[in-house]
Structure 1
């Protein structure tokens, strides 16, 4: 019965080791998070008893002066100090409130810092999706702040290192290698290359370990241990915390290589390594579980149980959401995540509304431009028509005046024709009936003083119908001088008989001249010659 009980105990202990191991194995990754004195409020060497006093004074001053920038720095520092003291009750709440205020005042650098702190908290509590989201946001805003000249290259470098830890956690080796290349370049810029190689070699070791290249992985990890041990005292004090991670990683690989003695040796070193910033607390649960597995395989059951109990206490105290102490801040974390989602939704709604208003304003401007453009066009058209009407009125007036003068010319010409006919009759009568010597000088005087009737007519016609002959010849280029005379007389509505007398030709010649004009002008039979000439 005693043997059966011991076997049952051993079986249950082994099962518990496996379950606990599976639950926290993925926690084992190196860290280099910002501490509470990295935010400008607490100095490095400040006595721990004074930190809370200083923080409370800063908070009070920020609220009295309504200084949101100072309040945000207080909230982020308070959260980081909570990590240091392992008091996580208000860490998520403080970091979440810092993010809200940062977004409210639209300070790029503070938004980056708040996302970074939320990412660290999510990473520590194995909330991988939230950690990745916040680390990516922090990196994005740090890069923007760097371009704005409000943050240093070191801030950007550390944001890339956070992404490296996240991608190491989720085993995205391709992305991990790319980020490490970027980190190398930035570390050289700030003269931190040697220090960052200690941390990046641990990440390279994880890639080699996943590929079962244990020898290479061990070489990288032991090289990092050696580099830390050879640091100057001041630098060693800051980086010695990382030995906890390095020793544990080495022990874990030796355990995989079935070398329990070396595994045990390095697990003991890891548990005894200093942890000034309390960053390795959660890792100690993993280390104790791994150590318990070694002890169990060596049949040191009591010692294995003690290590498992220590691991279980850490899990229950910090990682178990059913624990009353954890329920508060885990609920706050979810609450703030919901509020962030709600705020982002509200911002998106506002952006859509703004875009809609902008589009409506643009449409109104376009419509106003179209109305103005159409109004200008209509105005120009109306103005053109008014000018055209005025011009047409002037032309009509001028044409009416020309028509009147042409009628006067026609009348006076006809009167001249009548007078010339009388003078010719009188001259012929004297010639035929008065053979005296005194009649000859009289007849000669009449002939000398008589001006050509056509020349007198043509002078007045040209002065009254300016450009008529030119327009006519432009339209019908092959007209003769005789044709032009006929056209002028047709324009003034002279009869054939009046034309024959004025031109000194027979009536038949006038008819022939009119017929010849129609042919030159290529007029169809249904087109009136007089109307065509008057239209020119």
Structure 2
């Protein structure tokens, strides 16, 4: 009993420790995911804080080997770096994420990364490379649409990026074609898409470049409140284009207002900084047109200075930055290939050396397995013998118990027979006394001396029954605590298969009382009509 309790106690403690560990891990995962979503919420308003949180999340997800989340952290970090004009770090983050997608076959993330790489190369006027990555993204996303039940909106981001790419290169027909594709996708989607405002803004820019100033103005002003309500950093671009429209319409005040709002928004959120030099130069041009030369000079100087501080994202000199990084990356890959070849060569030399060692280890392993097998079969046979011994002991104990119960039943029946004989003698003497009309004093004296003592008979029987069936009363009390001492007596007699008549004699009650007691006992034991009371009690103890 003590060993069983100890076993369950250890199992409980082990389960408790495992449960606590799982609970702690689950809570850590919840906290980590909260931190990640917190970083995303700060991505456009507090980018420095967002970067710190994303770096922490990337490290934590790496420790958890959650590659998908590591890729998400890297792509979001790249987006912030690009917005801050830190193109070197943006490039590094994208390539690190791309390598992870190749290892894990994460085609969904791979398509998004190719979009970002295309836009990054486009910033540096690396048109061939930009188009190459955009087209890779299109191919991957189309494959996803064929192989999975994915939404056609997957392609929207690539079509949108291609529309911007061709618009910035004055290829307005191609830009319009890709923008029409975006609208077709959105029209297929029944639910509202927040991406429509960006597509509408891009449509307005195309209207502006094709001379439709009024339509462009109305469209931008209609979506301006939506961007303003969301505190979207995209306002840097939207305000800049509104400034262009009003400049083209020779509305000095509104043009100045929106150029200044574009500059203010970029400086406030430290976002879309690559637009700042152009915004200052546009403002300088506006002041110059209106003969405000001092402001024109100051803004032109700010634009040039800022352009240099941001490494001149669109300048000819800095357009070689990605080429240098590409060359470095390609060289690194070549070095890795050379290192692999050297490792293969060393492996060939090591192969012979390890051959004999492997043979020795194999022999040792086989010998160990043989010994383990011998031990296993020995222990299994030993356990089998122990179980057989245990079964034999249990059968022997069961036989002994049956013999003792039979002896007990025989002894009880002898007591019952004795009482029946005394009762019979007493009845005969009573009859004889009645025939003599009560004249025989000796007969009366004998009758008064004949007494049956059912209580003493029961105490004798119960003492011997308890000695033989020690666990019966304990099990009965434990399973059915509401049973009385009288119920216990009845259960003991039923267990030994006594008849109702014998029970009545031994308990000193009538047969009818025995039947009533049996009926009440069935109710207390919650037995159904078809349940056998004797079989039920026989299984107890």
Q: Name the larger-Rg structure.
A: 1
Task: Indicate the structure whose relative CO is greater, using CA pairs within 8 Å and at least 6 residues apart.
Answer: 1
TM-score of the pair, normalised by structure 1: 0.47
TM-score of the pair, normalised by structure 2: 0.47
